[in-house]
Amino acid sequence: MPHYSIFTLARNALTGHDRWTEAWRSPPLKPHYDVVIVGGGGHGLATAYYLAKEHGITNVAVLEKGWIGGGNTGRNTTIVRSNYLYDESAGLYEHSLKLWEGLTRELNFNIMFSQRGVMNLAHDHHEARDLKRRVHANRLNGVDSEWLDRKAVLKFCPVLNGDPGIRYPVYGATLQRRAGVARHDAVAWGYARGADAAGVDIIQNCEVTGFTIDQGRIAGVETTRGVVKARKVGVVVAGHASVLAGMAGIRLPIETHPLQALVSEPLKPILHTVVMSNAVHAYCSQSDKGELVIGAGSDLYVSYAQRGGFNVIEETMTAIVEMFPIFSRVNMMRQWAGIVDICPDASPIIAKMPVAGLYFNCGWGTGGFKATPGSGHVFAHTIARDEPHPINAPFTLERFSSGALVAEHGAAAVAH
Amino acid sequence: MMQIPCPWCGPREQQEFRCGGEAHIVRPADPAALDDAGWADYVFMRRNPRGIHRDMWNHVHGCRRWFYLARDTVTDQILAVYKVGEPPPEVDADAPGTAEPGR
Amino acid sequence: MSAGAQSFRLPAGGRIDRSSPVGFTFDGRAYRGYAGDTLASALLANGVHRVGRSFKYHRQRGILTAGAEEPNALVQVGLDRARTDPNRRATQVELYEGLEAQSQNRFPSLAFDLSGLTDRVSPLLPAGFYYKTFKWPAALWMTYERAIRHAAGQGRAPGRPDPDRYEHVHAHCDILVAGAGPAGLAAALVAARSGARVIVADEQAEFGGSLLSEPDGRQVGNRPATIWLADILAELSTMPEVRLLPRTTVFGYYDHNFLGLVERVTDHLAPADRPGSLPRQRLWKVRARRVLLATGAVERPLVFPDNDRPGILLAGSARSYLHRYAVAVGRRVAVLTNNDSAYRTAIDLADAGVEVPAIVDIRVDPTGPLVDRARRLGLTVMAGHTVTAVAGKGRVAGIAVERLSPDGRTLAPGVHSRVDCDGLCVSGGWTPLVSLFSQSRGRLAFDGAQAAYVPGTSVQAEHSAGACRGTQGLGACIADGHAAGMAAVDQLGLTVRRPADPAVDDPEEGPARRLWSLPGKGSSGRRKAFVDYQSDVMDKDLKLALREGYRAIEHVKRYTTAGMGVDQGKIGNMNVLGIVAEATGAPIPEVGVTTFRPPYSGVAMGTLAGRAPGRFLAPVRTTPMHDWHAANGAVFENVGQWKRPWYYRRGGETMREAVNREVAAARASLGMLDATTLGKIDVRGPDAAEFLNRVYTNAWSKLGVGRCRYGLMLGEDGMIKDDGVTTRLAEDHFHMTTTTGGAAAVLAWLEFWLQTEWPDLKVFLTSVTEQWAVISLCGPSSRQLLWEISDGIDLSAEAFPHMAMREGRVADIPARVFRISFTGELSYEVNVPAAYGAAAWEAIWTRGRAFDVTPYGTEAMHVLRAEKGFIIVGQETDGTVTPGDLGMDWIVSKQKPDFIGRRSLFRADTVREDRKQLVGLLTESPVEVLEEGAQIIEEEVPPAPPVAMVGHVTSAYHSPNLGRSIALALVKGGRAREGQKLYVSMPDRTIPVTITSPVFYDPEGARQNG
């Protein structure tokens, strides 16, 4: 694997960049692997990377039906934070945030993790109560989080609408300074490059069409490119989790909903943090290219169409213009949708399945991107050891029977 | 954005409606007789199909009636609409997808 | 550069209005143009080509096109702090008197841009360079990032809120025609004549599309093209079912034939001339039975070294400037082409007196009528040649021309010739605009002859016509428009006679030569041949991406950012596909195509938001007594959509003082509260009691008429959803109350069960929240006051016990009086018809003075209920709390076999002993009021994180009746901890607290039952 640095860049510049080699190979699909990961998004590639790096399991294939990073990894609004309410979630997302902080170095690939802070706005004292509850819990869980009063909010983000007479004026906000945004595609590519270097086969354009199950134990997967044997199969397919689970005869508590996002035309730097609001219902940051990156809400019906209602775009633009009246004349440049798999408690499932050797990592809903490194890390552990890492132990499928849900609706009420 | 044919009001814009999720999940007659997993299956587990789905919709900004759609979740084409109590019609996913919106 | 006044304006011709000169400024310098000009045409008329700096390398860029696809000429229009628009395409900005425009992305000036240095070091900055560097030291990334951000971006956001107004229009039609060029108008005419309701939208100020760029002598049938156009427009404009929308872009094609259009209503007017009665823009939301796409085609450039130099234009665009605006793009203009269409430009330029020193044609043996005509005019055709370098810095000064090798991949040996010129027109062929078709989910097909994607299979009720589906030639486009119009009309079941297709002289065009990336001289490091001008992507960037394994077309796009700029790849996408195909050896259709996403071109966020921000963001609900509250010092708070008095400020009171006063009064004598906002549902029908049995945890069958009962509603997950008191008005009739915020959701929830699960139950639900005004009287004097002002109600404790309802008159107003209490005091809720609410309130207020009546707000209500340990759904509960958690097992029926959520109460996790339970908390210091939301721990000195949390504070107040602070909390295994000491953890300290019962005041209930 060619090392990336300013020096190798300069050296290659002398030869017109003709000598760079591929970031990852396109190897032929082998008939047998120790572990097959279904889904070449950020989570799947991270899982493969950590399987190789932390557990020495390198005979691994990542099977991607399209191109890697083409699902929600390449469609999200790139927010990374860990200020979740419950211990279980805080543990998971903070684990992830710590990995984010070293990821550029770890992968020798600049994933542009920009710790510019994430603010969650409160618009009245009721919202403030709920948000402060989170701030207190975060502090005790070792997650940086602070409460800003109205004045401090407007100082930290002067482009916010500070008019006290509006319907939902700014009352205060939580701020997680270590939170921020990252370059979404780079995360997939960085993990792919790292996994590939460790021997993992990344197979694109290979769709899984079924599982081979032998006496209650996974034996392999059927794909559009033939049967692949494996004693362990990890499935990380975002919106399509139910479809894959169905192939193994498993029912999931998941619905797949459209989630939309959009970007504006590029502007000179104007917004220097990430702002989210539940009451006004939108969130916004500015990319390094200068686009305002805006998340819309999800529609509440099952759909795999990657579309969503136009009214959601209108409502989101309303919220943005209400929060940032100076953005009114700025053009929306591109809108799109992804499909997200939503669990009833807005928390993921990262667990062993009733079929031995089969593992699912799903249900991230609207906020899976931020968890990419941590999710891959604990999922790799779960697959390698056939038992969950303590961090993902609460995120079972069985919690829906026992009732031990991790109800993070408050933390995840706005899609992000 | 879909145009949804409310069986009571006629075709209306999607945002007049709220989706209530999967249809035809019958509430168990004797929940106490179920084990935790059986109960969880009713409360939480969903088909979530890629393809033909029957779901419940409420015309919240209209007649406030609940009704059912058969819908292709891959294309969001509406294949059939029927009222509560009506037998679910057979639908064909390959039905022509170029239907015009209603007036 | 000539700075003469409009020295590039031809003496005659064009569609500009020479009688209306217009003054404007660009970068502070004054120029003149004419009405009918765009900013771009006016600048070109003044000899100004350089108008911007590129995104990444800050290269000088000129006007490339004459339309929405413009990738270079992005300008900031308007210098007002509030009304300034970034990234406007100069090619689309209609000129008005006093227009002020500025170039973007340069500092300090367009001619001298400090960031222009990046162009010098561009070899260090290939595609994706940022992934490979800026990694060390990690701590510096935020600094690097700041520099990157400042170099990137384009225009500037306004500095002040937008003062303009935007409106939304809903429309339905039979046929929506997108694009009013020859094909669109021909189709519209057919559709209109059939009687169909038709909307025709075109992004330009004037209908006509490519016809507007045709020379004067152009004939359609037996008429000049301009007359043909005028006749159609005249006919369409008289038809009542036809709506013509100029300056209107169809930007999005969504599901079920829903389309988004943006109409620019006043942008073309000088600010002073914009009528206040008109919105700046309108968003049209159109549901069309059939859609007719006639969006035309855009020309694509050729990829050769220095192809981004100001003075280089697309050939068709140069022709537009010539004929439509009477502007010559230079005095000596060369042409570079791979097809015949650019010959038109050469011929027309020559006809207009512009010198055309050379037509460089990369084809070896170009033939055909246009080529012949050019040769007959004496123009030099350099066949089999290409441009290998462009001289001039801010403007083309000449080109180097060399012969291509037979396969076109390299240069043939030989000497190059230099051609002096101040302009270069380029054509790489035409790309049909299939954005809207593709957005509609239609499947594209690849047309090998044109090397372009065209509409393949339709998915929605849609037709394409004219150049957007690859039709070439004016006559063919008109005929195609007629045919598509006929097909659409036929699908609608209408009939119409097909107009005769006019005869049009369209010279036949020979085949083009596809060389996606033309060879040049020198090292690849120095070669700068742009594929995507907007994103500064060069052919070698694409090859680098492929080399590095980014092979999927989406990877190529994302790694290089090709197609991700403001023009969304309109100019460059086909060249990207061609170069990738060539480099990988795959046929173009196998390369795949990136998804076309809405909007077709940028739409202001304010337009999409419309009138909704600000005053209309969310409804404000007020009670009939609102004005009284406002006049009497009420400070309001939001509760759901309602405005409720939070407290009433008297004189110079602080909030704390006001609340203390109100709380004390309610227990000492008499308080009055506006409780109108509580949700109220009328439940009626023979099965009403059975229905309540199923949705509440407790039993309702035996509730007597005239009696009230408190109820809890659970979700099927067993968690508390809402609460309230329900009263039996008759055997088959109940009055249910809900929380203020939950009213709508509870009604919807109940309807859901009734309609979908229990349609056999005969029950009707009606929201009566707005029908009743509710005044809660609270305190020992409440009975006495009612005694004085009511008729027909026996108020004695025996006749009218707690949890009962009586009907009668209060203040001579018909009323239902409920004896219920959310404060633990003797309390009555007086319900009167809403129209009498204000009168009843005034009467009670007036008559209550004798009892020192005190209006109190929600904050005092919260304190009063907290003193009694009464919960508030949403404050003591958060969707994870069961009745048992709140110590409310008494309300969960043991007899009923089932109710919604019952089964969930017996799951492994819900029967745990150490669930969080409702308790009271007392601080050591009576004046210490805890912070709501604070977390509770077991250690006085917290260990290092993570610290185990055993609970959190849900409510905390100063209780004037107890003379100290009180708090409610949810604590793990809390009921068993009564008397135990725990700690509330604050950032700077821990506060010791003692666990108590949540009922702080009158635990026996003597006061409310008295």
As a whole number, mean pLDDT of residues A208-219 equals 97
* Nearest CA-CA distance, residue A381 and chain B, Å: 27
DSSP-derived secondary structure for C462-517 = EEE-GGGGT--SHHHHHHHHHHHHHHHHHHTT---PPPPPPP------------SS
How many domains does one find in chain B?
Answer: 1
Distance of CA C881 to the CA centre of its chain: 36
Are A33 and A157 in a shared domain? no
Instruction: Quickly list DSSP for C311-352.
Output: TEEEHHHHHHHHHHH-B-S-SBEEEEESSSHHHHHHHHHHHT
Whether residues C132 and A110 touch (CB distance < 8 A) is answered with yes
* In contact, A84 and A411? CB cutoff 8 Å: yes
Query: Domain end: A321, A342, A363, which one?
Result: A342
Q: What is the DSSP string of C61-117?
A: EE---SSTT-SS-EEEE--SSSS-EEEEETTT-B--TTEEEEE-S-SB-SSSBGGGH
Q: Is residue C416 pLDDT above 90, yes or no?
A: no
Q: What is the pLDDT at residue C913?
A: 92
Of A8, A321, A410, the CB nearest to C609: A321
**One-letter amino acid of C243:** R
Distance CA C176, CA C346 (A): 37
Which of the four pLDDT bands, split at 50, 70 and 90, describes residue B95? Answer: low
Count of domains in chain A? 2
Q: What is the DSSP letter of C720?
A: E
Q: What are C287-335's pLDDT values in tens digits?
A: 999 999 999 999 999 999 999 999 999 999 999 999 999 999 999 999 9
Question: Taking CB atoms and an 8 Å limit, are A243 and B50 in contact across chains?
Answer: yes
Mean pLDDT of C457-475: 97
Q: Which domain holds residue A267?
A: 115-179+255-342
Distance CA A17, CA C272 (A): 55
Of A252, A302, A401, nearest to B37 by CB-CB distance is A401
In this predicted structure, the answer to whether residue C276 has a pLDDT above a threshold of 80 is yes
pLDDT at B64 over 80: yes
Interval A186-196: pLDDT, tens: 999 999 999 99
Burial (CB count within 10 angstroms: exposed 0-12, middle 13-18, buried 19+), residue C393? exposed
CA distance A334 to C564: 9
Is A410 inside any structural domain? no
A401 contacts C130? CB cut-off 8 A: no
Chain B residue with minimal CA distance to A402? B36
C-alpha–C-alpha distance, residues A200 and A193, integer Å = 9
Side-by-side strand order, sheet with C417-420: C385-391, C398-403, C417-420
Instruction: Write down the pLDDT at residue C116.
Output: 81
Cβ separation C756–B101 shorter than 8 A: no
Integer distance in angstroms from the first to the last C-alpha of chain B?
A: 16
Which of these ranges, A15-19, C234-238, C544-548, C853-857, has the smallest mean pLDDT? Answer: A15-19
- What are the DSSP E strand ranges found in A132-265? 146-149, 172-176, 180-181, 201-203, 208-214, 217-223, 226-229, 232-235, 255-264
CATH code for position A170: 3.30.9.10
Q: What is the pLDDT of residue A415?
A: 39
Q: Report the pLDDT averaged over residues C845-864.
A: 97
Average pLDDT, integer, range C739-761: 96
Is A309 close to B1, i.e. CB distance below 8 A?
yes
The pLDDT score that the predictor gives to residue A411 is 52
Return residues 131-160 of A near C (CB < 8 Å): 131-137, 139-142, 159
Choose the final residue of a domain: A342, A367, A390: A342
User: CA of A213 to nearest chain C CA: how many angstroms apart?
Assistant: 31
Confidence of residue A412 (pLDDT cuts 50, 70, 90): very low
A245 and A272 assigned to the same domain: no
Residues A173 and A262 in one domain: yes
Specify whether the CB–CB gap between C703 and C882 falls below 8 A.
no
Q: Cβ of C933 and A129 within 8 Å?
A: yes
Binary contact (A321, C605; C-beta < 8 A): yes
In-domain check, residue A232: yes
Under an 8 Å CB criterion, which residues of C touch B?
Answer: 172, 254-258, 287-290, 441, 458-462, 491, 716-717, 748, 751-752, 755-757, 759, 897-898, 902-904, 906-908
Residue C752 has pLDDT above 50, yes or no: yes
**Rounded mean pLDDT of C670-699?**
98
The answer on A248 and A261 residing in a single domain is no
Give the tens place of pLDDT for each residue, C996-1009. Answer: 999 999 999 898 88
Non-local CB neighbours of C945 within 8 Å, separated by 6+ positions: A139, A140, A141, A142
Which pLDDT belongs to residue A214?
96
* The predicted structure's pLDDT at residue B99: 58
Contact A140 C949 (CB under 8 A): yes
Task: Look at residue C179 and give its three-state secondary structure.
Answer: coil
> Which token pair is B60?
């919240």
Domain assignment present for B29: no
Interface ipTM: 0.97
Average pLDDT over residues A201-206: 98
Strand ranges in A243-355 using DSSP code E only, listed in sequence order:
255-264, 274-277, 282-286, 292-298, 331-342, 349-352
Residue A98, domain member (yes or no)? no
Instruction: Determine which of A1, A14, A17, A95 to mutate to test the interface with C (most C C-beta atoms within 10 Å).
Output: A17
Query: Does the CB of A113 have a partner CB in chain C at under 8 Å?
Result: yes
Contacts with A302 from chain B: Cβ below 8 Å: 19, 21-22, 46, 48-49, 53, 55, 73
Residues A248 and A260 in one domain: no
- Are A224 and A275 in the same domain? no
Q: What per-residue confidence (pLDDT) applies to A15?
A: 87
Give the residue ranges of DSSP H helices in C829-931. 837-848, 858-867
Identify the CA nearest to C215 among candidates C330, C345, C118. C345
CA–CA gap between residue A84 and residue A174 (Å, rounded): 12
Q: Mutating which of B54, B66, B77, B94 best tests the C interface, going by the most C Cβ atoms within 10 A?
A: B66
Q: Within a domain: residue A102?
A: no
Size of interface B-C (CB pairs under 8 A): 77
- How many residue pairs bridge chain A and chain B with CB atoms within 8 Å of each other? 75
| One domain for residues A207 and A71 | yes
CA separation, residue C651 to residues C648, C654, C655, C658 (Å): 10, 9, 11, 10
Mean pLDDT of the region C972-994: 97
Q: For residue C335, how many C-alpha atoms fall within 13 Å in the half-sphere facing its CB?
A: 34
* CATH number of the domain that residue A30 is part of: 3.50.50.60
- Cis? peptide before C897, omega within 30° of 0: no
From chain C, pick out residues whose CB is under 8 angstroms from the CB of B43: 716-717, 904
How does pLDDT run across A217-251, given as a tens digit for each residue? 999 999 999 999 999 999 999 999 999 999 999 99
Kindly state whether B95 is in contact with chain A, defined as any CB-CB distance less than 8 angstroms.
no
| Residue C1: pLDDT band with limits 50, 70, 90 | very low
A266/C566 touch (CB, cutoff 8 Å), yes or no = yes
pLDDT digits (tens, 9 = 90+) for C755-799: 999 999 999 999 999 999 999 999 999 999 999 999 999 999 999
Tell me if A253 and B46 make a contact (CB, 8 A cut-off). Answer: yes
Within this chain, do residues A273 and A150 fall inside the same structural domain, yes or no? yes
Tell me the mean pLDDT in the region C341-356: 98
Residues of C in contact with B60 (CB under 8 A): 748
Neighbours, chain A (3 or more CB pairs < 8 A) = B, C
**Boundary residue ending a domain (A294, A317, A342):** A342
Over residues C201-212, the mean pLDDT reads 97
d(CA A47, CA A382) in angstroms, rounded, equals 10
Q: Which residues pair with C985 in a beta bridge?
A: C935, C990
Q: Is residue A99 part of a domain?
A: no
Q: Of A120-124, A297-301, C380-384, C869-873, which range is least confident?
A: A297-301
**A201 and A273 together in one domain:** no
pLDDT in tens, C922-953: 999 999 999 999 999 999 999 999 999 999 99
What 3-state DSSP class applies to C816?
strand
Q: Is B15 close to A301, i.e. CB distance below 8 A?
A: no
Q: Is residue A80 part of a domain?
A: no
Mean pLDDT, residues C193-221: 97
Residue C639: CA count within 13 A, CB half-sphere: 26
pLDDT tens-place string over residues C209-228? 999 999 999 999 999 999 99
Chain B contact for A354 (CB, 8 A cutoff): no
Task: Select the residue of C565, C598, C933 nearest A335 (Cβ to Cβ).
Answer: C598
Distance from CA of A24 to the nearest CA of C (A): 6
Q: Measure CB to CB from residue C549 to each of A26, A168, A326 and give the nearest one.
A: A26
Considering only C95-99, C519-523, C591-595, which range has the smallest mean pLDDT? C519-523
> Residue B103 is part of which domain span?
1-24+35-103
Confidence tier at A297 by pLDDT (50, 70, 90): confident
Rounded to whole angstroms, the Cα distance separating C254 from C615 reads 29
pLDDT of residue C109: 87
Q: For tokens 């008019």, what's the residue?
A: A163
Q: What is the 3-state secondary structure (H, E, C) of C149-178?
A: HHHCCCECCCCCCCCCCEEEEEEEEEEEEE
| Burial of A351 (C-beta count, 10 Å sphere; 0-12/13-18/19+) | buried
Say if A215 is an interface residue toward chain B (CB within 8 Å). Answer: no
Residues of chain B contacting C254 with CB distance shorter than 8 Å: 1
Average pLDDT, chain A: 95
Enter the DSSP assignment of A62.
E
Query: Do A121 and A58 fall into the same domain?
Result: no
Q: Which of A321, A327, A400 to mutate to test the interface with C (most CBs of C within 10 A)?
A: A321
Q: Identify the band that residue A410 occupies on the pLDDT scale cut at 50, 70 and 90.
A: low
Residue A305 inside a domain? The answer is: yes
Pick the more confident residue, C578 or C108: C578
Pair A166, A206 in one domain: no
Residues A103/A199, Cβ–Cβ less than 8 Å: no
Is the confidence at residue A2, as pLDDT, over 90?
Answer: no
A172 shares a domain with A261: yes
On whether residue A41 sits in a domain, the answer given is yes
* Portion of chain C with pLDDT greater than 90, in percent: 93
Domains parsed from chain C with CATH numbers: 3-133 (3.10.20.440), 166-297+432-491 (3.50.50.60), 301-424 (3.50.50.60), 513-609 (1.10.10), 679-865 (3.30.1360.120), 909-1009 (2.40.30.110)
Spatial distance between the Cα atoms of C462 and C469, rounded to a whole number of angstroms:
12
State whether residue B31 sits within 8 Å of chain A by CB. Answer: no
CATH label of the domain that carries residue B73: 3.30.2270.10
**Contact at CB, B53 and A302, closer than 8 angstroms:** yes
